[in-house]
Structure 1
């Protein structure tokens, strides 16, 4: 997948060059994992929602965990760094505390609203999934190392 930084995860998925079946599976996984959680979602439900067979899911992803990580990895590697950098760069433009607070609340609210499914999955999996937590930790270490150099 193209590592281009994005502002809206769902739109980013729609814009990526990939087979239609793979895109459908990713979008269905995004929606169902957000609604029902990873453990509460079966591959049969994902296949049904995506309008594909379970074999199509396993054509693109070896396991349901691989599907989850394919959703989370672009979020961790691209999505959060963009918002962090944009957010921090924007803070210097405000002259009063009131303007600053208004911006922070509006900006973060819009972020959550635009990406509710992705944020919900990310938050849940960071609390419950060792593999996802390790992926996130490795990205943070990499960012921190690059920042300190």
Structure 2
């Protein structure tokens, strides 16, 4: 499923920015989003972005001093405006619900986040590819997402530990190990699972991932 870039750009442009993006900026950000998702940040060039946007290369640098500033202008608003609070608001409904078991909670989280992943695939590909290499993006990710998820998930983990269904490790460790496994599943699903002719069995792989997590975190 291709991600509707125009949809999130339009949403972003309506979210109370001090100055909305001009038509040329929208074209530049849209073209950059597509090319960054296709080739990665390092493999993209401003000349290629300008060509796809239908503007002169100099126009890009009138709006963005560097290619990295253009990258941050794409990813940072996605986190600040679409993830928090809009996307996280939907996620909070999942995290604030009461579950009978940790694996039940994991299934609810996967169902909620995979729907978002499919809708915003191209923008999230940029996010996943580039965040390990840019401290500015890591800082925003930790502040806007990780801290909020940790706050919401910790009470559930402590309750499951009291019930004797989760190992008595720190909530941080449990969340880290869980997130690593879930992101690994989602990344392979995104890269390989949607490929034509793939033998990927999504339900089987999802259940295997959850079983792997639960066995690893068993007391």
* TM-score for both structures, normalised by structure 1: 0.74
Which residue of 100, 116, 119 corresponds with 1:114?
A: 119
CA distance in 2, matches of 1:95, 1:133: 33
Gap runs ≥5 in structure 1: 1-7
Cα 1:53–1:128, aligned 2, differ >3 Å: closer, same or farther? Answer: same
- Unaligned regions of 5+ residues in structure 2, if any? 14-19, 153-219
Moved more, 64-73 or 83-92: 83-92
| SS class of match (2:43) | coil
Contact 2:5 2:30 in 1 (8 A): no
Quote the offset at 1:78 in angstroms: 2.3
Residue 88 of structure 1 pairs with residue 92 of structure 2: yes
The 8 Å contact of residues 31 and 117 in structure 1, kept in 2 or not, is answered as yes
Q: 1:129 to 1:101 in 2, by over 3 A?
A: closer
* Superposition pairs of residues 1-80 of structure 1, within 5 angstroms: 10-15=6-11, 16=13, 17-80=20-83
TM-score relative to the length of structure 2:
0.53
- Aligned in 2, Cα 1:72/1:97: closer, same or farther, shift over 3 Å? closer
- 1:124 positional shift: 1.3
CA root-mean-square deviation = 3.2
Q: How many residues align?
A: 138
Task: Considering Cα pairs closer than 8 Å and 6+ residues apart, tell me whether 1 or 2 has the greater RCO.
Answer: 1
